Amino acid sequence: MPVLRPGTTTSRRSHIAAAGALLAALSLLIALPGAASADATAVPDRGTARMGQGVIAHDGRQTGDTTGTDAVQTEGVDVSSHQGNVAWSTLWNSGVKWAYVKATEGTYYKNTYFTQQYTGSYNVGMIRGTYHFATPDTTSGAAQANYFVDNGGGWSRDGRTLPGVLDIEWNPYGAACYGKTQAGMVAWIRDFVNTYKARTGRDAVIYTATSWWKDCTGNNSGFGATNPLWVARYNTTVGELPAGWSYYTMWQYTSSGPTVGDHNHFNGALDRVVALANG
């Protein structure tokens, strides 16, 4: 039998067959369910959660003009380490007059850009406050409220400091309701807001989305009389509010605004923002 040399017909056929097998294997990998979207569905790192992170995925988004929904509104933004160093003067010159900065998450994370964001917003003239991203499956509401107050979530009546915010929304790290029953979630929230008020003298603002509130608290109506509402709804109108609130104080209406993505309307003129700051 003759020895095959490179370049013979049989050798070329072998190379072609091998290449075909490789292409077939790659095609099968691409066709496997989830193969192309593995990165998109990956669980984020602890501490990276930000206000409104789950709104588009769970509640949708509709773009359009939202400026005419109330007689007078005041523009604001919310930021976290996701935005890094923020161009506060640019925002101020565009008409943004108030801001909220993420301070903490759970009892394990502090915003690494907190000083630039919190001090920077103040230095350009904004009224600003801080928020806490809640993780009710890690520690108690009281523990997280204390951690928040101890790490940037305090309040002072200086006319420039807004009350702290409890950001309670979809769990980016696991089950949407953090494995809690509706009654258990209500108890956790109550534990947080009661502790926050005991520490600061202020009722915390509650940030949430109506659909999450319905699913995870059973649409509980027990907070509307005491805690201002900051509602997330990426639409041309604010839509249905959670039970217990007849109006919103703030509305996060988009995650794709100018300079930083998350933009908000305060339900009133600037003097009402000052009134909230002063309690």
Q: Which amino acid is at 10?
A: T
Distances (CA, A) of 203 to 145, 158, 160, 192, 276: 12, 17, 17, 10, 11
Asked if 249 and 220 touch (Cβ cutoff 8 Å), the reply is: no
Could you tell me the two tokens for 270? 């600037």
Residues in the chain: 279
232-263 burial code (b ≥16 CB/10 A, e <16): bbbbeebeebbbbbeebbbbbbbbebebbbbb
Distance CA 256, CA 261 (A): 4
- Taking alpha carbons only, the member of 155, 145, 139 closest to residue 196 is 145
Which active-site residues does the annotation give?
78, 167, 169
Secondary structure letter of residue 208 according to DSSP: E
